[in-house]
Chains A and B, each alone.
Chain A
Amino acid sequence: MEPIPKKGTPERQRLIDAHKACMDSMKGVAGNSVLLCETPGDTTVVTGGVHADPVLKRVLLRMRGESPKGKLIVICTRVDAEWRIARLSGIRGVPPEFVGDKVYTDEQEIQHDIFLMRLDELSDSYGFPEDYHEGWKRKDDNWPIT
C-alpha cells in the first residue's frame, strides 16, 4: 500500500511538480493523462508522469479509488470555456455541490488543483489496518466497484 507522502516532504513536492508539468503539457488535448507531451498539446509522444514515477502512479490510483461520498469532481459550467470543482454527494438523487468559487478557464489546470486538495485531505494511514471499519465487510472499503 502506497502511503500518501506527508506534508513538507521533498517526495510530496516532487509529485506536485511532476503532476503540474504533465497538466501544463496536456493543455489543448481533447483528453487528459498524467503524462508529459513532448510537444505541448500533442500526444504523438508522451512520456514521464505516471509511466516514470511509480509513487505518483500509486498515489493517484489511491485517490481515484475513493468512494463517491465527498469525492471531488469537475463540473463544466460553460461548454469548452469554464469549469469548477465540486463534491459528489454519494446519495442517489442529491447532486454534487460546488467547492469554493474559483472558476477555471482550462480543463487541465483544474485537475492539478484537485490533486493538491486530495494530497491535503487524504490521511497518510488511509488503507492500512488502523483505518479498518465495519464498512470494509460491506463494500464500503474505500475502493468502489463499478
Chain B
Amino acid sequence: MTTMRLTGYADKFGVHPGDTIQFYVNCDGPSEYKVEIVQMINGDTNPRGPGYIDKPVEAAVNGSYQGRKQVIHGGSYAYVPDAKPFHVESFTLQCWIWPTAPKTHPRYWKHGPQGLVTKWSNECGYGLFINEEGCLELRINEHRITTGVPLRDHAWHFCAATFDAATGAVTLIHEPQVVYALDPEIAPVEASLKVAIAHAPVPVALGAYVERLAPEDPLAASSKPAGVVFAGKYNGKLDSPRICNRALSRAEIEMMKAGAQPGLTERRNAGPTGKLSECIVAAWNFSVGIDTLTCKDEGPYRFDASLVNCPNRGMTGYNWSGQNFDWKHAPQEYGAISFHDDDVDDARWTSDFAWVVPETGVKSRFYAAKLTTSEGDEEFIPFWVVPRVGQETAKIAVMVPTISYMAYANEHVACNAGGAELFVYRVPIMQQQNMFLSEHREYGGSIYDTHTDGTGISISSRLRPILSIRPKYDHFLAQAPWQYPADLHLIYWLETMGYDYDVFTDEDITYDGLARIENYNVIITGSHPEHNSGTQLDALHNYTQRGGRLMYMGADAWYWVHSYHPGYEDKGRGVVTEMRRCESGIRTWRADPGEYYHQSTGELGGMWRFRGRYLHSVAGVGMSSEGFDVSSYFSRTPDSLDQRVAWAFEGIDYDEKLGNFGLVGGGAAGLELDIVDTMLGSPPHTLTVATSAGRHTEAYLLVMEDFGFNQQGLDGTTHPRVRGDIAYHETPNGGACFAFSSIAYCGSLPWNNCDNNISRLTKNVLDRFSMDGPLPAPPDSAFKHRGRADYDPTPMEHRSRKERGEPLPA
C-alpha cells in the first residue's frame, strides 16, 4: 500500500468570496506536487454507486509547487522564556503530580524520560523528571539523582528537590498522597554534588524539557516558541509547581505548597513569610485563567507560562474535596493541568500557497485543494465557499456539520480499542489514513479516542491535517463513507437533481446566529450532525419558529455539547472545539468525577438532553439506537396518508419498501436511528410517516440513556425502540421540520442514478420546503389539544395498520 507522503490543511473551513484561504502542505519525498482546486461532487468509490466525482475549478493557484517536509510538534507543555532569575545557584523545585503513564513500553511512541519542572537541556541546568524507569529523578547538569521508587500511576504524589550549591547537599522527596498498607516507606534521598549549575539559554518548561535549539529543523519550525524542540512530554496532571532560589527546609517546602501570596500585611494573606518570599522565583497557580492559554505566576517576576497544544484544564487538583463539581465554583480545587504527549492545537506549518476566492463566479459549494504527484500520491484539503450574511445566492442551504467532522477528526478507535469490533460486529477495516495515523500520533486523535496515555480526548483542532475529512475514505464503523464523504452522497444528489444551493458551516451559524440562516427557505443538514454548539441550536430553534424549514437528513444529531475555545479566536472562527463525555450517552471514554465542565467556556458538557435540551425538540426525532453491521428499510405508516403530509409521498405507493438499497449498509435505515418520542421533546402533533421497526439486527442496541437497568432484550431483534421513524411536523408561521432519522439515509439517494423512492421522497419534501412564503396551512381539523404521554387509543387514526386490517405486505 502507498504511504501517505502528502498531507495538508487550510487555515479556514469556510471562506467568503473575496477572502484568502491559506494552505499548508507536508510533501515528504516527492520533489514537487500539483495543486488543482476542485468542486467536490461525490467521494464514494463503491462500484455500485456513481464513483468518485469532482469538477475542476479554474483558479490562479492551480499549478505545481515545490515539495517540502513539514512535521507536527505534538504534545502539550507550558513554557516561560529564559530569564536571569531562573539562573539560580541553589534551588528548590516542588509540585504535585498525578502521572498516567510513568513507565511506558520500550516500543511506545515516546518512550523515555518525562519533564515535570525543568530548566534543563543537553546536560545543562536543573529539573524534576520522571525517568525511563518511571521513578522521580532530579537532574543537575549531567547528574541524575533518583529515588529508584516507581511512581504509582493514576495517583497523586508530592515531589520536591533541593540543592544547596554552598554545601553540595541534595534532597529528593517523593511522598505519595495515599499510602496503602503494604507500601514500603519512601525516605527522602540525600546526596552531595559539588557542582555549579551550568545554565543553558533555554526556556523553563512545565511538562517537558528542551531537547535542543534548532532554528532550521522542521520539527522546531512547528514548535512554540519556534526554533525550540521540546521533548519528554509528560502524561498526567501537574499542580502547583514552584521554583525557589535556595534550598528550603522541609517546613518551608510545606509553606510553599500554598504558593505565593504577595503583599503580606497584618490584615491579609497567610504567608509565606517575608524571608521565604525573598527566594521565590516562580509559583504558578493553574486554577487562575482556566479558560485561557496562560498559566498565572503569582511570584514576584510574573513569569506567566504559555500553554502549547491545549492540555486539559479545569481538572481536579490534589486538594479536590468532592464537594464542588464545577471549577467556576471552587477554582482553588482545580489547580491541575492534565498534559498529554499527543495533544495538538495547531500544526503551525508554513503556508505553501494561498487562493483568493474570486468575488464572483465561484458558487457556494464543497471544494477541495486536490494535491497529486507524478508518483501517484494524492491528498485533498476540503473547504467550503460560504456567502457573506446578506449575500445569499439560493433558497436552499446545506449546513455542513463541521463540529461533528472535528469531533471525528483523525479517529483511531479501530486501532486503539479492541472493543471496536464488538460494536461494529465484524472485523474492522482500516484504510491507509488509519495506518498513517497509527504511526503518526502527533497528528492527534478524535474526541472518540483516548490519548496515548489512555485518558479521553476532549479537544479537537482543525489546524492540522484531518485525514478523516477526505473523499475515497470508508470508515470502519460503516464499512462505507461516514460524515464528510457520506455527506457528499447528499451533494451528489443535489447536483444530479439540478438544485441550486448555498453551503455554510457549523462555525458560521455558531458565530452568526439566526442572521446566517434566516434568508433561506430551507436548511438541509448533513447525515450525522451529532456535535453542536448552543448558539447553533438557538439559531435553528429561532429559524423554525419564524417559519423556516429544516430537513434533517440523518440521525444522532443535537447530541453533544460543544464549545469553541476562546483562546484561539485570533486564529479564526471555531479553531478548537471541546466536548466532555459526562454522565450518559454513547461514550467511548468517560470524564472523571468533577471534570464535566468545559475549560473553554465553563459550561456543563455532556449530552444536550441532560442540559434540558432534548434531541427530539430540534427536528422532531432523537436517537434511540445504533448498530453498524447492515442497514434495512422503511415502511409507510397510516400517518403518511394524513393530508398534512401526504404530498411528500406523491409517486410512492403505500406499500413500497422505502430504501431497501443503498451505499451505506445496503439500506436507507441504518447505522444510527432516531425515533419520535413526545416524552422526550417531539412536538405532540408530530406525524410518524414511516418506520423501520422490527427489521434491525442484533447488532443494533438501544442507547444507554434510555434505560436505567442492564437487561436482556435491548437489540434490534427484540426491542421496539430499536427503529428509525421518518417524521414531519409543522412549526409556527408556515415552517416545518422533516426528519429522515437514519445516518444511512443519504447513502440511498444516489442509488440507480438517483432514480429511487428515497430520492423521490426527498425531492417532494425539498420542493415544498424551498417554496417562497409560508407553507400552506394545515386543515382546520389538525388544530386540536394533544397530550404528551396522554392520548386516546380508540379512534381509528390512532390504531395500527394491523388493527385497521391492513398489515404490511410480505
Contacts and interface: CB of A to CB of B under 8 A. Distances in A.
Given A79-B431, A146-B423, A46 B630 contact: yes
Given A92-B441, A146-B588, A75 B430 contact: yes
B778 to A, nearest CB: 35
Contacts of B108: 91-94
A80 B46 contact: yes
B430 A73 contact: yes
A144 B417 CA distance: 7
Contacts of B665: 29-31, 43
Interface residues of B, number: 63
Interface string B657-694: 10011111111001000000000000000000000000
Given A33-B697, A145-B419, A74 B430 contact: yes
B704 to A, nearest CB: 12
A111 B420 contact: no
B439 A31 contact: no
B431 A76 contact: yes
Nearest to A57: B698
Interface stretch (B186-194, B243-251, B323-331, B474-482): B474-482
A6 interface: no
Contact of B413 (A67, A89, A94, A146): A146
B418 A88 contact: yes
A80 B631 CA distance: 19
A93 B452 contact: yes
A4 interface: no
Contacts of B28: none
A93 B443 CA distance: 11
Contact of A71 (B418, B439, B589, B664): B418
Interface residues of A, number: 52
A114 B427 CA distance: 8
Contact of A31 (B110, B418, B421, B479): B479
B107 A91 contact: yes
B439 A95 contact: yes
A43 B632 contact: yes
Interface in B409-434: 413-423, 425-432
A65 B663 CA distance: 28
A131 B596 CA distance: 38
Nearest to A75: B430
A32 B630 contact: yes
A61 interface: yes
Nearest to B439: A95
A57 B422 CA distance: 11
B501 interface: no
A125 B222 CA distance: 51
B629 A33 contact: yes
Interface of A is mostly: loop
Contacts of B45: 79-80
A95 B438 contact: yes
Nearest to A23: B426
A43 B631 contact: yes
Interface in A63-96: 63-68, 71-80, 83, 86, 88-89, 91-96
A34 interface: yes
Contact of A95 (B435, B633, B660): B435
Contact of A51 (B105, B418, B697): B697
Interface string A16-54: 000000000010111111110000011110100011000
Contact of B416 (A68, A110, A143): A68
B573 interface: no
Contacts of A73: 414-415, 427-430
A74 B429 contact: yes
Nearest to B434: A75
Contacts of B474: 76, 79-80
Interface string B443-479: 0000000001000000000000000000010100011
Contact of A28 (B48, B478, B698): B48
A111 B699 CA distance: 17
B14 to A, nearest CB: 28
Contact of B418 (A32, A35, A61, A66): A66
A3 B403 CA distance: 44
A94 B437 CA distance: 10
B805 interface: no
A78 B429 CA distance: 12
A86 B432 CA distance: 13
Contacts of B633: 44
Contacts of A96: 415, 430, 435, 438
A104 to B, nearest CB: 11
A144 B438 CA distance: 18
A32 B479 contact: yes
A96 B431 CA distance: 12
Interface of B: 1, 45-48, 105, 107-110, 342, 413-423, 425-432, 435, 438-439, 441, 452, 472, 474, 478-480, 588-589, 628-633, 657, 660-667, 670, 697-699, 717, 747
Interface of A: 26, 28-35, 41-44, 46, 50-51, 57, 61, 63-68, 71-80, 83, 86, 88-89, 91-96, 107, 110-111, 114, 143-146
Given A31-B479, A32-B630, A83-B429, 13 more contacts: A26-B630, A29-B630, A31-B628, A31-B665, A35-B630, A46-B630, A64-B422, A65-B419, A66-B421, A72-B427, A92-B108, A144-B419, A146-B413
27 contacts: A29-B666, A31-B629, A32-B425, A33-B630, A33-B699, A34-B426, A41-B666, A43-B660, A44-B657, A44-B660, A65-B419, A66-B418, A66-B421, A73-B415, A75-B435, A80-B47, A89-B107, A91-B109, A93-B107, A93-B108, A93-B109, A94-B107, A94-B438, A107-B429, A146-B417, A146-B420, A146-B423
